[in-house]
Structure 1
Amino acid sequence: MKYINNTLILFLIFFCGKSFGQTTVITKDEAITKTLENNYGIKRSRNLIDIANNNQSLLNSGYLPSLTANAGTNYNIENIEAQRQDGDSQNLKGAETKRYNASLNLNYTLFDGLGRLYNYKQLKEQYKLTELEARETIENTILQLLSVYFEVARLTENVSVLNETLDISKQRITRAQYQFDYGQTSRLGILNAEVDVNNDSIALLNTKQQLENTKRDLLVILNEPRKELQSIAIDTSINFLSEIELEEFIKTSNLNNVSLLQAESNLLISDYDIKVSKSGYLPSLGLSGSYGWNNSDLPSTSFVQTSTTKGYSAGLNLSWNLFDGGSTITNVKNAEIRLENQQYLKEQLILEVQRDIANSWGNYQNKRYIYEVQEKNVLTNEDNFNRSQEQFKLGQISSIEFRQAQINLLNAKTNKNLAKYDAKFAELQVLQLTGQLLNLEF
């Protein structure tokens, strides 16, 4: 009895003593919201979207003119020997010449063979592709989050089941002690009960340690590593979608699957790449204009000692590269090959996605069936345990038989917990492949 009391005291101090703080239940939707706000991977994806958005703006399109300002000055000191028409000569040492200039220059491309147009469209499509890549990152992160979340929920329920098992085993010790005190059984019954309590305590300790480790994994995904583990509680309720609803999602998966949407976007980008390359076959037309100011201070040997000019100029420039050594032809051919490869990748991806959806759907149906069987198994084992418990109290079965019924019930409950969350995660995989993971609440 002294050993039992010491074990119980240590158990209460180590585990129950931590639970007096305030506990906050984190729902699945709250966990998703925090992940979307705090997760570093998602933040990086959003930054990439911002970069793609900057790239697809009008400022990066090539449709705006360029305006440059230039200014300069020159200063010369020279020895000049000037010969006049009448034969006289003039020598000037250290003659100074000062020149100043400033100008504004405007350049605008009126037509560049449509390369600018398709490059702009390509940047727009690249922005959409970056959004799809960010969505894929978010989907994978949310799937990872819910996987860890459900593991915390499963271990939480297992801890509850193991606590119940430990309580029953402790009651066995009390009963065995009474029976021994009244001479109804030997001390072997007490020892067997103590062994079972120790085994149940170890199982509970290990499960609680697993639970704490998994909670730390959850906090890393939520980007809240400093939060107290004991203050975290998980919503263990699970709701499944109807199979009819899932089947409707599967029918429209080709329109919503993020990988297929990325493949379609890559096809458009490759098509625009061909058109950009073909712009090299056409001429380009540019407009230029400038306003300039020039001032010169000349030496006395010049006819004019000071001159100032200012004025406007404008012009049109037509350029047509009739033959560039074959670079444009090569670029067009390579772009067409890249487009063909993208088409092959898309066709291959369609087959892979169809296979993955079929596998995930079959896996989901199998997991749901297993969960339903495990639910029935728990009911059967509960009934068996209750009958065994009554027979054990009446002395009709041995402690070994009672312990076996207790273990069977424990295994049935933990297996049901595992089957429940396995089935839900299989459902999430179906939702991800059909492109609906971010469209539903959990």
Structure 2
Amino acid sequence: MGKKIIIAVLFLSAYTAVFSQEKLLTRDEAMKKALENNFGIKIAGNQVAIADNNQGILNSGYLPTLTGTANASYSRDDSTIEFPGQLNDDNSVRADVEIDKAEAQRYSSALNLNYTLFDGMGRLYNYKRLKEQYQLSELQARETIENTLLQLFSVYFDVARLTENNNVLKQALEISKDRFKRAEYSFEYGQNTKLDILNAQVDVTNDSIALLNVEQQLINAKRDLNVVLNQKLEEDFQVDTTLTFIPSLKLEEYLGQSIENNVALLQTERNLKINEYDIKVSKSGYLPTVGLTGSYGWNLNQSAASAFFPGTNNTTYNLGLGASLSWNLFDGGKTTVAVRNAKITYENQELVKQQVALEVERDIQNAHTVYKNLLNIFKIQGQAVITNENNFERSKEQFQLGRITSIEFRQAQINLLNAETNKNLAKYDAKLAELQLLQLTGQLLNINF
């Protein structure tokens, strides 16, 4: 069983050697791909495009409407006209008149122009409301982009952490393999017992299984990253494992500007302005509406001859101008109710703004505390790695001299392994906490990754 695991690890090592030759996916490149390809960001961009269309002059109600109409009709009559009891001048009976194929055509066309000159200012405030709605959609798209970037780097850092853990476990496995060989040589020369070989083989098996698990986790994490980037799941890449943290003075500057830049607070401001315009739009129902109309028409009426009249062709051109005033003096109270409800909605939005402001302030303080704590843990874990490296090197020397047992040496190796993996976890946890803090301060899209 142990040999099978070792063979599997060797296969994965060969696979990783090939894999390591794959291209490097930098953080900037990953962010660029996400902005171009991510489904959520594309949908948010389309929503902004819709809001942009809605805020244009074509949707404002300020332009007139022009309609064209045209009509055509045709009729053909066959008729017989009788004159009962009527006599001609010579006292003969007046004959019937038959009219066959009496055709008549009618043609008409017209252009009608309508323009609302004044509608109680409702059109103006609705136009301004659409402008605010567009700005709100931009903020919503920005929030989607920020959340997507956080998701992206959460997965990206997971890949980076597993990559570093993979390297650490490879080193641990090489150390265990070397110890296994030394145990076999020492047994051949009678310097130790079979138990030392078995202990070494058990440790090789355990390290092999740990490496297999990390390799599988790494493959899965890369697939997750490919989903975020909207690219083929089998796409191969390496990630950048180097990290830098923002200087504390710069971070303090961002914290001081968080109220002006936080996307959630900016959205509440836009919603409040929209509700303010809703009140004014509702109040426009109290005022009259003044409209202008204009029309130009052409008519052609061709009638067939009858028993008494000859056929005629009648052509008419018509030009008309008009003005109208409509004032709904009482609409059963609907406008009053609409205004009252709009005011209540505005008051609710003010409460929402206060609530969001308090929650954002809390979230920023919590995120700042978490970030500083994780940064300190990362520094402590860095020192722990140095301490465990020194301890491992000393234990290695003592083990080779036969002064400590294989169990004590293995414990030193495990301590170093745990310290290195804990350091990797702390490093990427601290960086992700930094990005979360930058999002809350409204600076996530303004920094270099």
Q: Distance in 1 between matches of 2:342 and 2:107?
A: 50
Aligned to 2:264: 259
Equivalent in 138, 152, 162 of residue 155 of structure 1:
162
Code of the aligned partner of 1:434? T
Structure 2 residue 209 is matched with structure 1 residue 217: no
Give identity over the alignment, percent: 57
Aligned to 1:271: 276
Report SS of the residue matched to 2:18.
Answer: coil
Are the aligned partners of 2:38 and 2:229 in contact in 1 as well (CA < 8 Å)?
A: yes
Deviations 1:321-376 (A, max 9, x none): 11111111111111111111111111111111111111101101110111111111
Code of the aligned partner of 2:427? K
Q: Distance in 2 between matches of 1:242 and 1:159?
A: 30
Code of the aligned partner of 2:18? F
Aligned to 2:42: 43
Aligned to 1:19: 17
| Mapping 1:274-423, distance limit 5 Å | 274-299=279-304, 300=306, 301=308, 305-423=312-430
Structure 1 residue 93: deviation in Å? 6.3
Q: Distance in 2 between matches of 1:80 and 1:129?
A: 75
Structure 1 residue 77: deviation in Å? 5.6
Structure 1 residue 190: deviation in Å? 0.7
Structure 1 residue 73: deviation in Å? 2.2
Q: Distance in 1 between matches of 2:70 and 2:363?
A: 65
- Structure 2 unmatched ranges of 5 or more: 89-93
Q: Distance in 2 between matches of 1:17 and 1:73?
A: 80
Report SS of the residue matched to 1:109.
Answer: strand
Q: Distance in 2 between matches of 1:50 and 1:290?
A: 36
Q: Distance in 2 between matches of 1:37 and 1:166?
A: 41
Aligned to 1:72: 71
Structure 1 residue 318: deviation in Å? 1.5
Runs of 4+ that moved beyond 6 A: 3-6, 78-83, 87-94
User: Which structure is larger by alpha-carbon Rg, 1 or 2?
Assistant: 2
Q: Distance in 1 between matches of 2:369 and 2:82?
A: 101
Code of the aligned partner of 1:242? P
Structure 2 residue 80 is matched with structure 1 residue 106: no
Q: 1:65 to 1:302 in 2, by over 3 A?
A: farther
Q: 1:48 to 1:6 in 2, by over 3 A?
A: closer
RMSD: 2.3
Report SS of the residue matched to 2:424.
Answer: helix
Aligned residues: 436
Q: 1:323 to 1:102 in 2, by over 3 A?
A: same
Aligned to 1:119: 126
Code of the aligned partner of 2:241? T
Report SS of the residue matched to 2:73.
Answer: strand
Report SS of the residue matched to 1:287.
Answer: strand
| Mapping 1:167-182, distance limit 5 Å | 167-182=174-189
Structure 1 residue 236: deviation in Å? 0.3
Q: Distance in 1 between matches of 2:80 and 2:38?
A: 76
Q: Distance in 2 between matches of 1:117 and 1:91?
A: 67
Q: Distance in 2 between matches of 1:401 and 1:56?
A: 73
Structure 1 residue 286: deviation in Å? 1.1
Structure 1 residue 159: deviation in Å? 0.4
Structure 2 residue 422 is matched with structure 1 residue 424: no
Aligned to 1:236: 241
Are the aligned partners of 2:104 and 2:302 in contact in 1 as well (CA < 8 Å)?
A: yes
Q: Distance in 2 between matches of 1:7 and 1:381?
A: 28
Code of the aligned partner of 1:181? E
In the superposition, the TM-score normalised over structure 1's length comes to 0.93
Equivalent in 431, 438, 443 of residue 436 of structure 1:
443
Q: 1:339 to 1:93 in 2, by over 3 A?
A: farther
Q: Distance in 2 between matches of 1:279 and 1:396?
A: 94
Are the aligned partners of 2:223 and 2:234 in contact in 1 as well (CA < 8 Å)?
A: no
Structure 2 residue 164 is matched with structure 1 residue 165: no
Report SS of the residue matched to 2:378.
Answer: helix
Q: 1:246 to 1:80 in 2, by over 3 A?
A: farther
Report SS of the residue matched to 2:242.
Answer: coil
Q: Distance in 2 between matches of 1:93 and 1:102?
A: 30
Code of the aligned partner of 1:392? F
Deviations 1:1-58 (A, max 9, x none): xx87765444323431463364111111110000000111111111111111111111
Structure 1 residue 306: deviation in Å? 2.1
Code of the aligned partner of 2:259? N
Code of the aligned partner of 2:430? A
Q: Distance in 2 between matches of 1:67 and 1:367?
A: 66
Q: 1:432 to 1:92 in 2, by over 3 A?
A: farther
Aligned to 2:91: none
Deviations 1:51-78 (A, max 9, x none): 1111111111111111111011234567
Deviations 1:111-153 (A, max 9, x none): 1111111111111111111111111111000000000000000
Code of the aligned partner of 2:68? A
Code of the aligned partner of 1:13? F
Aligned to 1:54: 53
In the superposition, the TM-score normalised over structure 2's length comes to 0.92
Structure 1 residue 298: deviation in Å? 2.8
Structure 1 residue 184: deviation in Å? 0.9
Q: Distance in 1 between matches of 2:206 and 2:374?
A: 30
Q: Distance in 1 between matches of 2:82 and 2:293?
A: 40
Structure 1 residue 98: deviation in Å? 2.9
Equivalent in 242, 246, 263 of residue 251 of structure 2:
246
Code of the aligned partner of 1:52? A
